[in-house]
Structure formats: C-alpha cells, structure tokens
C-alpha cells in the first residue's frame, strides 16, 4: 500500500512538473478555464440575486406566487402588461366559487381577486377649472336656483374672491388670445375651416374686451355659459391622463402583499369604495412638470451628476425655463403679483413681468440650483397646485366597457401607495389600486345590486324635473348604462371634473360599506395566490390546478414568472445569455486544452515510450495525462471561482451595483443589487470545469496510451 | 548455466511503404546467464530489431523468443510490460531520462512502478547504485544539468535498480565521445562481474566490442558469426 501511495505521488509529481515545465501553455489553458469559471461563478451570483430580487419584486408587488385566469381567454395573463398593453382576459363571473376552492388547497396563504386594466382620467382643462371655481364663487355672490330666492348673504370677502377669480380668468383669456394670435400668423387655415375659425377668433376677442367684463355681472350666468361653451374649448390642452389600475379586494391585497405601504393619506376603509394612487404615477404624471423636473435634477445632483456636464440635466433646466405657461395660468393676479415681488427680491433684478421672471428663475446652474429649488418649494409651491389630483379628491375614471361604451366611475382618492424598495419603479408603483366595486362598474358587468340601482335612478329620473346641473350629472355621472358611445375611439368626451355639487349624489355610494360577501360575489379577471411556503410552489400549483379542474371552473394556474410576462422572459433571457457565453467559453477552453495536451503529448512521445519500456503500464500513462488536465482545470477553476468571490465581495463592499433605471431597480428589487456568492454557482462552475478538463484530457490521454515502448528506442537523429 | 534468452528461428518483417523489409531472417541465438554479449553489425543489419524482440518491446513475425524461460508470444501486453519491469533493464542510446525528475527520482522510478519496497529501502538502494556508478553527488540534479556520460551512468543505475536478470543496451556509447563511452562500458562490465547480471549491447564500434565476452555479428538480418573474445 505504501508503495502505491508513493507511486501515485510520483505520478502527480510527473504531471505537475510537466505542467511547470511548459508554463506558457499551462497559463493559456488555465487563463481560459479561470475566465470561464469566473464568468460562471460571478454571473451566477449576479443572475441568482437578480432572479431573487425580481422574484421579490414581482411576488411582493402585484403577482404573488401563483395566478389564475380563465383558460379560454384570448390572451395569456401578463400582470405588468405585455407588448400590446393589458392582456385581454375572459371574466370569472363568480369569484366566490374560485376563492372557496383555492383557499381550501394546502399551503395557500391568501387569495386575492384582481382586475387589471387601463382607463382615462380627465385631468381637467385649466380654463374649465377656473370657470368652475368662478361659477362657484358667483353662486355665493348671486344666489339662485333651488326656487328659494334669499337675500344675498354676500360678504366682502366673497366679493373680493369673486373679483380676483374674474381677473384670473380674464388673464387666462389674454394669454390664450396671445398664443392663438401667434398661431393664426403661423398656420395656414384650410378654406373649409375659415368661417368657423373666424367665429372662434371673434368670440375670443370679445371675451378679451373691457366691455365684456364690465357687463359681466349684469348676467353672470349667460357670460359664464358663453365662456364655457365658446372660449374654454379653444384651450386645447385639456388632456385626459391614462391610468393603470388594479381592481382588488383592498383588504385582502394589503394582507397578501406586505411590501405595499400607504405613503400618504390612509388606506381605503374596509368595504368602502376608493382608490390609492400609485406613487410613481403620482410623481411622474400628476405632479406639476416644473416641480417634477426640479426633483429629478436634485436627485441626479445628489448622485454626482452636474448640470454643467450632463446633457439630460441641461435639457430639464431648459424645459423648465421655456415652458412656464403652466405656472402663469395657475396664478391669479393677486398671486402673480406676490410671486413677482418675491422673485424680484430673490433674484435681485428690476424686472416686473412675471413671464420674463420665471424663465430667469428656472435657468439655474450648479451653483444656484439648491437655493432656487428651496425657494421654489418654500415660496412658489404654496400658490400652485402641485398635483393634478390630491388625496381627498374625487376623480372620474372612464374606460371603454365590454359593450364598447364608455363607463365612468367617480372614486375618492384615499391615499398614495408604493411598494417598498420599488418606490421609483415604473412597473410596480405605477399601478393605482382600486376597490372591486368600482372596478366592476368600470368593467361594465351588471351585478344584481347594480341593476337595482339603475332601476332606482331611472325611476327617480322619470319623476324629477332635472335642472341643468342635474342633467349633466345624469348624463356623465356614475352609472355605466347611460354613458356616451365611444365608437372605437379611445378619446373620451371632455368632462368637467366632479364638483362639490355632485358629491351629494355620490356620497351615498362613497359612504356605503360593502360586506365581504358583496365583495366576493361578482366578476374578477384574475386571482393571485400567495403561498405559505414558496418552496413548494410547483406542488401547490399542481394541487390548485387539480382542485379548479375538479370543480370545473375552467381556469389555468400559472406561476409568478409566467404571470410577469415579458419581465419573466427577460430573466430567462439573461440566464440563457450567461450560460450560452459560458458554454462558448468552455467549448473554446476545451478545444484549446485538447490541442495543447495533444501537442504536449507529441513532444513527450519518447519520454512516454521510455516509461512504457521501463515497465509503466498503459494505465499509468493515462493517469499522468489525465491528472495534468484535471489539475489545470481544478487549480485554475478554483482560482477563477476565488476571483469571482473576490469580485462579489468587492462589489458588495462598494455598496452593490447601483441603478438609476426604474426597470433595473425592479429587477434589483431596490436601487442597488447586492450579488450574493452562491454555493450553487461554485458547485456548477467546478462541475463544468472538471467535466471540461476531463473531456479535453481524454483524447490526448488515449493517444498517450497508444505510444509504444518502441518509441523509446528510436535514436534522436 | 541455463539460457536466459533463447531465440529460435525468428523472423521479423515489417512494411516500409509498400515494400516488405526482412529485418531478421531465421535467427537463432542462445544467451547464457552472466554473459556480456555484444551484437555487432552495420546500420540496418537488424541489431536493434533483435534487441527489441529480446526486450519484449516488439513481437516477432515468426519463431520463438524466450526470455527468462517464458515464451513472449504467449504473453499479454500487460504481462510483457510486467516482465520488462521485473526482469529486464534498459539502457538507451540517447539516455532517455525523465527530464522533469531528479537523478535520484529517475533511478527510483522503476522501483515505484514495481512496488514492494519501503521508502527507506528504496532510498538505500538508489544511494548505493548512485555511488556504484560514481554520481552520488548529483542525486538532486536534473538530467539537463549533467553531461552525456553522467546521464548514461544514471541510465545504467536505473536499469540495474530492480536487480534485473538481463540488461539490454542499444548503442549505449553512440552519443558519447570514445573515452566516456569506454568508461560507461567499463561500468557495465563491472556490474556484470559483480552481480552476474547478463548484458546484451549492440554497437558498431570495434573498441567497444572488444570489452565483450562474446560477439554476435549480424548482416542483412542473419547471424553470420559468433565469436569469443580475448576479454572472455
């Protein structure tokens, strides 16, 4: 036995000495093997943590572990939306039945009903908004309606507010006239539209005359109607905003998705109708563009970017300086005067025109930015409406229903919601969470309750004589059945946002508390399932599939990765890319090692022949050769893995891989990715490395055994 | 003494391109234990072929080769390798040391392949042989650090370390100057005399031949003469 050990020792000694004797060759083989090993280990660490991060993001935000939807749906479910927008799914008419079956499956922690879609929100025409406020103020100054003519309870304050508001509207009209006047010079109007355009221009000019305003109070209602119908529509920038929403049982959602947090306002009280705006959506789409850009510049500067050198920051500064109209329109004359005085003092310039002061103010450089950003929020922001809607507002959401008609619901904004670590994510925190009842109204599924409600409204509508305001409410209000046909165009009819008057109508809907039974009874599009033990995902997926099949529900169960759609594929793509490049590298390593070993073998034919002549068996020669290639593989493979571990450590020590990119942050499950040195990566890498070296060593080793002792006898000449 | 090598009616043909080369034709030879035999003949006469057959590194086309009483044509490749390991020592024209091992490791190598001895026993035997061939001071050197004569002395030590019955040497002096060559032959002779190990070596150098106890002359694959020398 002792000798066997010694023989093995000499075998290794020969193998290692051979490797040392040809250092260049060994270094090349080892370099490639080491690189491959480094790539596999570091790549696996990154991809694993990406995978884990994405799993956390997806599971914790919207998807949970499993999703169910109807088998006969035209699209497959993609929670975050695919290339073509939201997936078209067939509805599950009774969530109650699904909940009962799924909740009974072992390992199911929570079942959450969902309906995901896009809708429109009227963001309000600034002119419309101003006129609406003017109308409200006028009503206080000139009480009317409701039949009872009481003596005017006008206070001097109300009168003052009303006059300020009038001045504001007049100022807006002046701005509008100036803009349209410029457009008239620039744009060639087609003959067919000339008459209409001329009439519009005449109306606008009339609204901008002192005569019009001095006679305004004689019949404010006629004047207001004229402004509303003839002038406000000329203000073309009355957008509607897209909104992506997820209708759900908000209580069940909150319990199942622990990364969700209400960052502003409150959660929707249990059983109530209401929505929680997505944080990212609120910041990106609802916030005043100037404020948003200032935020972004501030954040970028905190990360070390500078206005002087960064093209994007320069562009934001330029946009802020040139597009000051939004701010000008928002300020009434009193506010404008105050803003002018403040800006004058701050900037120290003798300029009295706000339209010129604002660009001066917003044209910041790195030195002045911080002070101006503080000034903006401290002095200007309080006079401005920073967000299109805010917590507490009631907004009208419209969507094309299944029938093709537009459905609309009025919902109250209770709060702003974000997902921990994904606050800036355009994927998770863009979603607005909505109660299921409102979702069902939007979706256009008529529940028995709803049918009764509609009947009630119809009856009362038939009996009551409707005032102008009520008629409008009846036409564009909460009930879906009487909505305007959309005729395939996604453009909604511009709508006046809900006002205090209408809230009375909605208040019974808003204060109504729905029971769990009512929430569960009715249509949903897909169902999320959270598991107690996510490691048993496959098993539970199969169990749920079997349970719903047995119940004849016609549903299909998919895992979170599949439900994440293109996102999940991104991950698979990354993994494929990593392993493909590693594979190619190892194939190259294999070819080169094989080649080098064969060359080495040919150089040593005489030596090997000598060993054979002296009495070395073929097996000995085979082993020497194999030990050489495996030693290269293991030593350099380990070195590569060690280097990868060092790299992982270094990346972690430097605070992980940072990303400003929202998509990447979603993959990272936060602003930084912390790669973890995974044992699995090491095992895989070493396994592959040993396999590659054995495979590349086999052929030269077999060649070596074919060398006969006769080779030793050949003379050198 | 009985024959350690017995070659009877052996022929060896091999193909060189499309022509058949008759390297040995009906050769018969008996070698007694303790002989110090020289095989002489010009290049291409069949000396090396005959040594290869006797050394079990090649097989005959016809006839019988017996080494140490065993018919080599009946043995497997493994058994032949084992026979070489245990009964035969080799000395090569160009020394053929394992370049990555030290002098001592080269000499020890066959013992390790053979097994059966402790490290201490091996070390003692290696040291004794290195002393016997006169290179005890170079045990830790690499072959590349030695002169040709020193290397061949290492090779002699390696050939003898397993205490074989037979040592074969194909042109052992061809790569050495005549003085060094003679000293190597003297060393071999001394070993032959001391331990009674049989040596068969090929050469075409008359001065080297003169040291042999007997000379077998080969021409065109046939033994043309067998003569005893004055040295015998």
The tens digit of pLDDT for each residue in B32-64 reads 989 999 999 888 888 989 999 999 999 899 999
**In which band, very low, low, confident or very high, does the pLDDT at B230 lie, cut at 50, 70 and 90?**
low
Residue of B80, B88, B90, B140 to mutate, interface with A, max A Cβ within 10 Å: B90
Query: What span, in angstroms and rounded, lies between the C-alpha atoms of A705 and A605?
Result: 10
The answer to whether residue B9 scores a pLDDT higher than 80 is yes
pLDDT at A641: 86
A69 in B contact zone (CB under 8 Å): no
> Which pLDDT tens digit goes with each residue over B153-163?
999 999 999 99
What does A26-87 look like in DSSP terms, one character per residue?
HHHHHHHHHHHHHHHHHHHHHHHHHHHHHHHHHIIIII-SEEEEETT-SS---TT-BTTBSP
Are A512 and A274 in contact by the 8 Å Cβ rule? The answer is no
Determine how many CB atoms are found less than 10 A away from the CB of residue B214.
Answer: 18
Closest Cβ–Cβ partner in A607, A618, A713 for B99:
A607
- Contact between B57 and A606 using a beta-carbon 8 Å cutoff: no
**In which band, very low, low, confident or very high, does the pLDDT at B168 lie, cut at 50, 70 and 90?**
very high
- Contact between A713 and B100 using a beta-carbon 8 Å cutoff: no
Query: What span, in angstroms and rounded, lies between the C-alpha atoms of A380 and A364?
Result: 16
Beta-carbon-side half-sphere exposure of residue A509 (alpha carbons within 13 Å): 24
> Which pLDDT tens digit goes with each residue over A305-346?
888 888 888 899 988 888 887 788 888 777 888 888 888 888
Are A455 and A299 in contact by the 8 Å Cβ rule? The answer is no
- Contact between A716 and B94 using a beta-carbon 8 Å cutoff: yes
pLDDT at A2: 57
Residue A329 falls in which region: left (phi positive, over 0), alpha (psi -120 to 50) or beta? alpha
What does A239-272 look like in DSSP terms, one character per residue?
-EEEEEEEEE-HHHHHHH-TTEEEEEE-PPPTT-
Residue percentage of chain B with pLDDT more than 90:
57
The alpha helices in A494-559, defined as continuous H runs, are 500-511, 516-520, 537-550
Closest Cβ–Cβ partner in A7, A710, A715 for B94:
A715
**In which band, very low, low, confident or very high, does the pLDDT at A485 lie, cut at 50, 70 and 90?**
very low
Are B141 and B149 in contact by the 8 Å Cβ rule? The answer is no
Chain A residues within 8 A of B57 when measuring between CB atoms: 612-613, 708-710, 712-713
SS3 A467: coil
Q: Tokens at residue B44, please?
A: 């291409």
Q: How far is A597 from chain B (nearest CA, A)?
A: 17
Counts of helices then strands in chain B (DSSP H, E): 7, 10
Calculated CA dihedral for residues A226, A230, A234, A237, nearest 10 degrees: 60
Residue of A8, A14, A613 to mutate, interface with B, max B Cβ within 10 Å: A613
> Which pLDDT tens digit goes with each residue over A215-260?
888 888 888 888 888 887 777 655 678 888 889 998 889 888 888 8
Query: What span, in angstroms and rounded, lies between the C-alpha atoms of A633 and B47?
Result: 45
Are B77 and B23 in contact by the 8 Å Cβ rule? The answer is no
What mean pLDDT value characterizes chain B?
90
The answer to whether residue B138 scores a pLDDT higher than 80 is yes
Q: Print burial letters for A509-547: b (CB count within 10 Å at least 16), e (below 16).
A: beeeebeeeebbbbbbbbbbbbbeebeebeebbebbbeb
pLDDT at B232: 52
Chain B residues within 8 A of A709 when measuring between CB atoms: 55, 57, 84
Residue A469: φ, ψ to 5° = -65, -40
Crossing angle of helices A2-21 and A618-653, in 10° steps, is 60
Are A673 and A656 in contact by the 8 Å Cβ rule? The answer is yes
Whole-Å CA distances, A205 to A180, A201, A213, A333, B3 = 11, 6, 12, 20, 136
The DSSP H or E segment spanning A449 is helix A448-463
**In which band, very low, low, confident or very high, does the pLDDT at A503 lie, cut at 50, 70 and 90?**
very low
The answer to whether residue A610 scores a pLDDT higher than 60 is yes
The set of residues, in sequence order, having a beta carbon less than 8 Å from that of A86 and lying 6+ positions away, is: A78, A116, A117, A118, A244
Query: What span, in angstroms and rounded, lies between the C-alpha atoms of A32 and A585?
Result: 8
Size of interface A-B (CB pairs under 8 A): 99
Q: Closest-CA residue in chain A for B116?
A: A3
- Contact between B112 and A708 using a beta-carbon 8 Å cutoff: no
Output helix, strand, coil percentages for chain A, rounded to the nearest 5.
60, 10, 25
- Contact between B57 and A710 using a beta-carbon 8 Å cutoff: yes
Query: What span, in angstroms and rounded, lies between the C-alpha atoms of B72 and B63?
Result: 11
Whole-Å CA distances, A89 to A54, A63, A542 = 25, 16, 22
Q: How far is A593 from chain B (nearest CA, A)?
A: 21
**In which band, very low, low, confident or very high, does the pLDDT at B125 lie, cut at 50, 70 and 90?**
very high
Query: What span, in angstroms and rounded, lies between the C-alpha atoms of A379 and A437?
Result: 41
Q: Print burial letters for A52-86: b (CB count within 10 Å at least 16), e (below 16).
A: ebbbbbbbbbbbbbbbbbbeebeeebbbbbbeeeb
Residue A660 falls in which region: left (phi positive, over 0), alpha (psi -120 to 50) or beta? alpha
A426 in B contact zone (CB under 8 Å): no
The answer to whether residue B66 scores a pLDDT higher than 90 is yes
From the list A607, A702, A28, A716, the residue with the least C-alpha distance to B100 is A607
What size, in residues, is chain A? 717
How remote is the C-alpha of A715 from its chain's centroid?
Answer: 77
- Contact between A715 and B90 using a beta-carbon 8 Å cutoff: no
The set of residues, in sequence order, having a beta carbon less than 8 Å from that of A643 and lying 6+ positions away, is: A34, A38
pLDDT at A462: 60
Query: What span, in angstroms and rounded, lies between the C-alpha atoms of A48 and A51?
Result: 5
Chain B residues within 8 A of A610 when measuring between CB atoms: 90, 92, 96, 98
- Contact between B77 and A713 using a beta-carbon 8 Å cutoff: no
Strands A108-122 and A394-400: antiparallel
The set of residues, in sequence order, having a beta carbon less than 8 Å from that of A411 and lying 6+ positions away, is: A273, A274, A275, A394, A395, A397, A434, A435, A438
Whole-number CA gyration radius for chain B? 17
- Contact between B84 and A709 using a beta-carbon 8 Å cutoff: yes
Chain B residues within 8 A of A10 when measuring between CB atoms: 101, 105, 108-109, 112
- Contact between A7 and B101 using a beta-carbon 8 Å cutoff: no
The answer to whether residue A173 scores a pLDDT higher than 60 is yes
ipTM of the modeled complex: 0.93
From the list A44, A34, A18, the residue with the least C-alpha distance to A592 is A34
- Contact between B84 and A610 using a beta-carbon 8 Å cutoff: no
The set of residues, in sequence order, having a beta carbon less than 8 Å from that of A114 and lying 6+ positions away, is: A246, A247, A248, A524, A525, A526, A527, A528
pTM of the model: 0.62
Q: How far is B70 from chain A (nearest CA, A)?
A: 17
**In which band, very low, low, confident or very high, does the pLDDT at A587 lie, cut at 50, 70 and 90?**
confident
Query: What span, in angstroms and rounded, lies between the C-alpha atoms of A477 and A499?
Result: 11
Chain B residues within 8 A of A710 when measuring between CB atoms: 52, 57-58
A8 in B contact zone (CB under 8 Å): no
A716 in B contact zone (CB under 8 Å): yes
Chain A residues within 8 A of B152 when measuring between CB atoms: none
Q: Closest-CA residue in chain A for B99?
A: A607
From the list A289, A263, A285, the residue with the least C-alpha distance to A276 is A263
Query: What span, in angstroms and rounded, lies between the C-alpha atoms of A619 and A625?
Result: 10
The answer to whether residue B100 scores a pLDDT higher than 50 is yes
Residue of B100, B118, B175 to mutate, interface with A, max A Cβ within 10 Å: B100
How remote is the C-alpha of A449 from its chain's centroid?
Answer: 35
- Contact between B48 and A713 using a beta-carbon 8 Å cutoff: yes
Strands (E) located in B2-98: 3-16, 19-32, 36-40, 62-67, 70-71, 88-91
- Contact between A710 and B77 using a beta-carbon 8 Å cutoff: no
> Which pLDDT tens digit goes with each residue over A542-565?
999 999 899 888 889 988 888 887
Chain B residues within 8 A of A18 when measuring between CB atoms: 100
Are A476 and A448 in contact by the 8 Å Cβ rule? The answer is no
Name the least confident of A11-25, A283-297, A480-494, B117-131: A480-494
Tokens 């948003």 belong to residue: A292
**What's the farthest any 2 CA atoms get from each other in chain A?**
132
Chain A residues within 8 A of B119 when measuring between CB atoms: 2, 6
């Amino acid at each position: 036995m002792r000798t066997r050990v010694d023989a093995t020792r000499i075998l290794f000694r020969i193998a290692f000495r051979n490797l040392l004797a040809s250092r260049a060759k060994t270094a090349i083989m080892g370099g490639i093997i080491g690189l491959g090993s480094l790539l596999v280990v570091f790549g696996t660490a990154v991809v694993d943590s990406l995978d884990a991060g994405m799993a956390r993001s997806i599971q914790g935000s919207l998807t949970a572990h499993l999703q169910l939807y109807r088998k006969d749906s035209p699209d497959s479910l993609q929670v975050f939306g695919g290339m073509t927008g939201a997936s078209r799914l067939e509805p599950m008419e009774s969530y109650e039945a699904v909940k009962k079956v799924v909740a009974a499956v072992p390992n199911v922690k929570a079942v959450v009903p969902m309906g995901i879609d896009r809708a429109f929100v009227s963001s309000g025409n600034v002119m419309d908004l101003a006129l609406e406020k003017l109308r409200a103020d006028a009503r206080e100054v000139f009480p009317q309606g409701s039949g009872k003519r009481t003596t005017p309870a006008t206070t001097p304050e109300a009168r003052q507010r009303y006059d300020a508001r009038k001045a504001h509207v007049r100022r807006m009209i002046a701005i509008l006239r100036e803009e349209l006047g410029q457009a008239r010079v620039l744009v060639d109007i087609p003959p067919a539209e000339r008459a209409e355009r001329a009439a519009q221009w005449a109306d606008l000019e009339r609204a901008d005359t002192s005569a019009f305003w001095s006679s305004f109070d004689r019949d404010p209602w006629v004047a207001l109607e004229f402004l509303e119908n003839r002038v406000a529509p000329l203000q073309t920038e009355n957008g509607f905003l897209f909104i992506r929403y997820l209708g759900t049982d908000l209580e069940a959602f909150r319990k199942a998705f622990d990364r969700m947090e209400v960052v502003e306002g409150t959660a929707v009280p249990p059983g109530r109708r209401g929505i929680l705006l997505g944080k990212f959506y609120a910041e990106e789409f609802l916030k005043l563009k100037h404020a948003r850009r200032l935020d972004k510049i501030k954040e970028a500067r905190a990360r070390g970017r500078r206005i002087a050198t960064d093209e994007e920051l320069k562009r934001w500064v330029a946009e802020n300086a040139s597009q000051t109209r939004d701010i000008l329109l928002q300020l009434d004359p009193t506010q404008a005067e105050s803003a002018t005085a403040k800006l004058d003092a701050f900037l120290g310039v003798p300029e009295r025109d706000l339209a010129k002061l604002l660009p001066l103010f917003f044209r910041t450089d790195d030195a002045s930015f911080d002070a101006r950003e503080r000034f903006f929020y401290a002095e200007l922001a309080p006079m401005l409406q920073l967000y299109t809607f805010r917590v507490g507002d009631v907004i009208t959401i419209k969507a094309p229903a299944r029938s093709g008609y537009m459905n609309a619901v009025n919902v109250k904004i209770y709060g702003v919601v974000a997902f921990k670590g994904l606050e800036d994510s355009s994927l998770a925190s863009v979603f607005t969470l909505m109660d299921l009842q409102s979702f069902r109204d939007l979706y256009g599924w008529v529940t028995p309750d709803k049918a009764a409600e509609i009947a009630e409204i119809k009856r009362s509508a038939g009996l009551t004589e409707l005032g102008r305001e009520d008629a409008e409410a009846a036409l564009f209000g909460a009930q879906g059945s009487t909505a305007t046909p959309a005729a395939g165009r996604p453009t909604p009819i511009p709508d006046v946002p809900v006002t205090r008057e209408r809230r009375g109508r909605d208040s019974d809907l808003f204060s109504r508390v729905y029971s769990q039974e009512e929430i569960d009874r009715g249509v949903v599009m897909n169902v999320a399932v959270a598991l107690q033990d996510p490691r048993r995902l496959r098993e539970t997926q199969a169990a749920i599939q079997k349970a719903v099949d047995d119940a004849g529900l016609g549903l299909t169960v998919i895992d979170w990765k599949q439900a994440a759609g293109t996102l999940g594929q991104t991950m698979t793509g990354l993994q494929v890319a990593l392993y493909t490049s590693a594979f190619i590298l190892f194939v190259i390593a294999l070819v080169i090692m094989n080649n080098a070993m064969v060359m080495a073998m040919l150089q040593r034919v005489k030596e090997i022949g000598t060993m054979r002549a002296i009495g070395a068996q073929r097996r000995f020669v085979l082993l020497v050769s194999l030990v050489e290639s495996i030693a290269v593989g293991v030593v350099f493979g380990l070195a590569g893995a060690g280097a990868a571990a060092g790299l992982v450590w270094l990346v972690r020590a430097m605070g992980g891989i940072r990303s400003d990119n929202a998509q990447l942050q979603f993959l990272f499950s936060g602003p930084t990715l912390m790669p973890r040195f995974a044992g699995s990566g090491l095992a895989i890498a070493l396994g592959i490395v040993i396999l590659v070296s054995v495979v590349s060593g086999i052929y030269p080793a077999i060649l070596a055994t074919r060398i006969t002792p006769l080779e030793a006898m050949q003379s050198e000449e | 003494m009985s024959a350690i090598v017995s070659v009877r009616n052996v022929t060896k043909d091999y193909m060189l391109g499309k022509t058949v080369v008759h390297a040995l034709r009906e050769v018969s030879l008996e070698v007694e234990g303790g002989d110090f035999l020289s095989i002489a003949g010009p290049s291409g006469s069949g000396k090396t072929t005959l040594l290869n057959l006797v050394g079990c590194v090649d097989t005959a086309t016809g006839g019988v080769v017996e080494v140490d009483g065993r018919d080599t044509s009946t043995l497997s490749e493994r058994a032949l390798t084992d026979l070489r390991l245990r009964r035969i020592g080799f000395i090569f024209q160009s020394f053929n040391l394992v370049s990555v091992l030290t002098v001592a490791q080269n000499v020890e190598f066959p013992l390790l392949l053979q097994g059966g001895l402790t490290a201490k026993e091996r070390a003692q035997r290696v040291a004794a042989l290195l002393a016997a061939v006169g290179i005890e001071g170079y045990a830790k050197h690499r072959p590349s650090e030695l002169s040709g004569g020193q290397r061949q002395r290492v090779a002699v030590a390696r050939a003898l370390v397993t205490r074989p019955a037979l040592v074969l040497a194909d042109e052992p002096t061809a790569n050495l100057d005549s003085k060094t060559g003679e000293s190597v032959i003297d060393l071999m002779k001394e070993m032959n005399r001391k331990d009674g190990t049989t040596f068969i070596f090929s050469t075409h150098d008359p001065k080297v031949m003169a040291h042999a106890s007997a000379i077998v002359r080969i021409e065109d694959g046939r033994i043309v003469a067998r003569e005893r020398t004055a040295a015998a």
